[in-house]
Amino acid sequence: MAQPADGKSVANGTAYRALVRMAARFAARRRFLRRQIYEIVEIGRGDDRASRLFDAFIIALIALNIAAFMAETVPELSAAYGPWFRAFEAFSVAIFTIEYGLRIWTAVEMPFLSPWRARLHLATRGYLIIDLLAILPFYLGGLLGLDLRVLRVLRLLRFFKLSRYSPAMHTLLRVLRNEQRSLMGAGLLLVAALLLSATGMYYIEGSTQPDNFGSVPMSAYWAMTTLTTVGYDDATPVTALGKLWSMVTMLCGLCVLALPVAIISSGFAQEVGRRDFVVTWSLMSRIPLLAELDARQVAKVMPLLHAHNLPPNVEVIAEGEPCKAMYFVAAGQVRLRGAEHDHTYMTGALFRRGQAPRR
């Protein structure tokens, strides 16, 4: 009686271990698949062909959605191709929904956060909110049967999905965030100039043209068009003092409106400089010789470092030309083509030979 029981327990233990190994392999494959998808859907995470094809497909689909939205507003095209527009809209929403779901599912690959905190953090970011609002009208109108034609304008939010694929847009948004206090100050100056010019024109032209300048709010319309140098002809001063006040207002408008442009351009230049510093020094710090430098030594070394962004298949150093600098590969790879052998330098490597590397 004991022998069969022992055999049965051994068989059960073997089956249990087999199930554990199977579950472990399934979990490992699931994690590997999730990581691969994360590398593909998250811009800047992957540099393979699948990632580039995915990005190109989403960008093309967004562009086609904007074109379809505009074409659908033409009565003739809407009447002739209405079913095609609706089918394309359903197809696009399905793709964007899958994209949204994949981004939420792979959010656990973000380091230093628990799975649910990572998903919540990603779902509350601006890009994911835009993704959700871009597909929400379709489900609210189709599943709930609501007439939300006004909310269809949210389909234009799909255009802002392109900002995810634009490094320059990322830089501009950082500049606006960093310079928000200065921009708010420039906005207050604009409001002060608007109130001052509107009040002055009210007292100067109010009795002469009560229809156009009979109150400060009515004069504010003229003040805004004059400060911005648009100058509509529906409200113009007729007295000499009013015309003089108009010239002063236009000069003030040029000065005040130039402030935000100067603030943004200066901030953009500083942001680009900081980005180059981070890229170059983060790479230099991988070298033991430079990693131990202190702040004063870094300040001396940094002016000697220059970042270069080269297209593929460009010759960096001509064959036989003496190399007068040391090159570090920040991203991509460089191929050294010599007479005797070839060598490929990957990200983080350096080269300083006089052969002809190709990026």
The CATH code of the domain that includes 229 is 1.10.287.70
- Asked whether residue 76 falls in the same domain as residue 105, the answer is yes
- Asked whether residue 121 falls in the same domain as residue 30, the answer is yes
Total structural domains within the chain: 3
What residue numbers bound the domain in which 271 lies? 180-280
Report the alpha-carbon distance of residue 187 to residue 257 in Å, rounded: 9
- Asked whether residue 141 falls in the same domain as residue 219, the answer is no
- CATH number, domain of 76, equals 1.20.120.350
- Asked whether residue 28 falls in the same domain as residue 155, the answer is yes
- Asked whether residue 359 falls in the same domain as residue 275, the answer is no
- Asked whether residue 103 falls in the same domain as residue 157, the answer is yes
Distances (CA, A) of 64 to 69, 70, 97, 171: 8, 10, 17, 26
Please report whether residue 72 resides in a domain: yes
Please report whether residue 301 resides in a domain: no
Please report whether residue 199 resides in a domain: yes
- Asked whether residue 261 falls in the same domain as residue 345, the answer is no
pLDDT, tens only, 12-69? 667 777 787 888 888 888 888 888 888 788 755 545 678 888 888 988 998 898 898 8
* Confidence at residue 1, expressed as pLDDT on a 0 to 100 scale: 44
- Asked whether residue 212 falls in the same domain as residue 329, the answer is no
- Asked whether residue 256 falls in the same domain as residue 330, the answer is no
Please report whether residue 26 resides in a domain: yes
Length of the chain: 359
- Asked whether residue 318 falls in the same domain as residue 231, the answer is no
Q: How far apart are the first and last CA of the chain?
A: 75
41: three-class secondary structure by DSSP: helix
Q: How far is CA 37 from the centre of its chain?
A: 20
Please report whether residue 285 resides in a domain: no
* Confidence at residue 356, expressed as pLDDT on a 0 to 100 scale: 44
Q: For the chain, how are helix, strand and coil distributed in percent, rounded to 5? A: 70, 5, 25
- Asked whether residue 133 falls in the same domain as residue 212, the answer is no
- Asked whether residue 104 falls in the same domain as residue 225, the answer is no
Burial of 143 (0-12, 13-18, 19+ CB in 10 A): exposed
* Confidence at residue 276, expressed as pLDDT on a 0 to 100 scale: 64
Kind of pairing, strands 334-337 and 356-358? antiparallel
Q: Which residue has the tokens 């006040």?
A: 245
Please report whether residue 174 resides in a domain: no
Please report whether residue 302 resides in a domain: no
Distances (CA, A) of 356 to 45, 269, 325, 328, 348: 30, 33, 14, 15, 19
Helices 2-41 and 75-105, axial angle in degrees (round to 10): 130
pLDDT in tens, the chain (359 residues): 444 555 556 566 677 777 878 888 888 888 888 888 887 887 555 456 788 888 889 889 988 988 988 898 898 998 898 889 889 988 998 999 999 999 898 888 766 567 788 888 888 887 888 888 888 877 877 666 555 555 666 677 777 777 777 777 777 888 888 889 999 999 999 999 999 999 999 999 988 888 888 899 989 988 998 888 776 767 888 889 989 999 999 999 988 989 998 999 888 888 777 766 665 666 666 665 666 777 777 777 777 777 666 666 666 776 666 667 777 776 677 877 766 667 787 766 777 654 444 44
Which residues, at least 6 apart from 199, have a Cβ–Cβ distance to it below 8 Å?
A: 216, 219
Please report whether residue 171 resides in a domain: no
> Do 252 and 260 contact (CB within 8 A), yes or no?
no
Q: How far is CA 154 from the centre of its chain?
A: 19
